[in-house]
Structure 1
Amino acid sequence: MIEHDKAAIIEVLNLYGFALDAHQWDLFDRVFTDDVTAEFGPAGSAWLGLANFKRSFAEFHESLDSHQHTMMGHLVHVDGDKAHAFSYGNWLLVRDAAEGGPTWQGTGWYDDELVRTDQGWRIRHRVCRLMSWSGNPSVPEPNAEHHPDMKTNVLREHCEAGRVAFLQAIAKS
């Protein structure tokens, strides 16, 4: 059963990138709970509630000409009807009209808390942190609640400070 749960959770994590890049915002309903808390360091903001999160991400990503989000290196810890997942991400943003070049690429990680619902696994709390970036920092320009933050993060430091929920979850098991 746990292996089936892990596969289902990885599917949810990967569906996020597809939904985002395809601008299929209704697919976020298959990824997040209605009461999701989404903290995105690279966006310089956090959102409470799925409707608010979807609206804001649609507004920001529609201002770009293209983007690609790759999820990888998934780690999943299941504990009954709750789970924690950790994954790495690469983000390529393209805005052709950006002065100084059309692309910005970032790398970082996602630290997720998931819950089992009647519809399957959903992310209830997501923390996204930027580890590095290159390219034109004006590509991810401010839009509504998005205030791009190019501050980079060191995973080791977040772990040492107790700010990685996945690490805390596996330490308890």
Structure 2
Amino acid sequence: MTLTAEDRAAVTDLINRHGHLTDSGEFDRMQELFTADAAYDVTDLGGGVLTGLAMLRDAALALGERNPVAHHVTNIVLTEVADDRVHTLSKGIGINADGTIGSVTYEDTIVRGDSGWRISHRTVRARRAPLTR
């Protein structure tokens, strides 16, 4: 499979939209980003694996004021895997209300379905030390 320029733009836009929808609290629009049965692995952050859109929304609401005020995604790299499936690697920067910041790496599996490209699996890994994998 060769990703077209349009596919690459659509996948990159999908990853970028996550921060906008999350930061504005539009958790009822997560179906625009994730498959219905998406797995969101935040084990490295102490949250385990969240499965499904309702669980994603409920976890974000439960964090309340502890949610970052801003999510920024950079360094998006796409790797073609098979027809209608792409792995991506990107960096995330979260800014908290108290001014502290955190850095993570997002590892995504993104699939194309009837509604377009959606994240089916995301692993979030905290960056706590320099020069480590």
TM over 0.5: yes
Give the alignment's TM-score, normalised by structure 1. Answer: 0.68
Cα distance per residue 1:5-44 (max 9 Å; x no partner): 1110111101111111111112211110010111112243
> Structure 1 vs Structure 2: percent identity of aligned residues?
25
**Residue 128 of structure 1, aligned match among 115, 121, 124:** 124
Q: How far 1:153 sits from its partner (Å)?
A: 9.1
Conserved? CA contact 1:85–1:111, under 8 Å: yes
- Aligned twin of 1:47: 50
1:93 aligns with 2:96: yes
Structure 1, unpaired ranges of 5+: 95-101, 134-151, 156-173
Conserved? CA contact 1:131–1:153, under 8 Å: no
Superposition misfits of 4+ residues, deviation over 4 angstroms: none
SS in 2 for 1:51: helix
More strand per residue: 2
Take 2:58 and 2:113, find their aligned partners in 1: how far apart are those partners?
Answer: 23
Conserved? CA contact 1:82–1:113, under 8 Å: yes
Q: How far 1:2 sits from its partner (Å)?
A: 1.9
Cα distance per residue 1:18-71 (max 9 Å; x no partner): 1111111122111100101111122432201111111111221x2248611000
Take 2:22 and 2:120, find their aligned partners in 1: how far apart are those partners?
Answer: 17
- After superposing the two structures, state which structure 1 stretch, 19-28 or 121-130, moved more: 19-28
SS in 2 for 1:63: helix
Conserved? CA contact 2:19–2:71, under 8 Å: yes
- Show the 5 A alignment for 1:1-173: 2-40=4-42, 41-60=44-63, 62-64=64-66, 67-78=69-80, 79-94=82-97, 102-132=98-128, 154-155=132-133
Amino acid at match of 1:23: G
Structure 2, unpaired ranges of 5+: none
- Aligned twin of 1:164: none
SS in 2 for 1:130: strand
Cα distance per residue 1:99-154 (max 9 Å; x no partner): xxx23310121000011011110000100001138xxxxxxxxxxxxxxxxxx993
Take 1:123 and 1:66, find their aligned partners in 2: how far apart are those partners?
Answer: 21
- Aligned twin of 1:97: none
Take 2:110 and 2:67, find their aligned partners in 1: how far apart are those partners?
Answer: 31
Q: How far 1:3 sits from its partner (Å)?
A: 1.6
SS in 2 for 1:129: strand
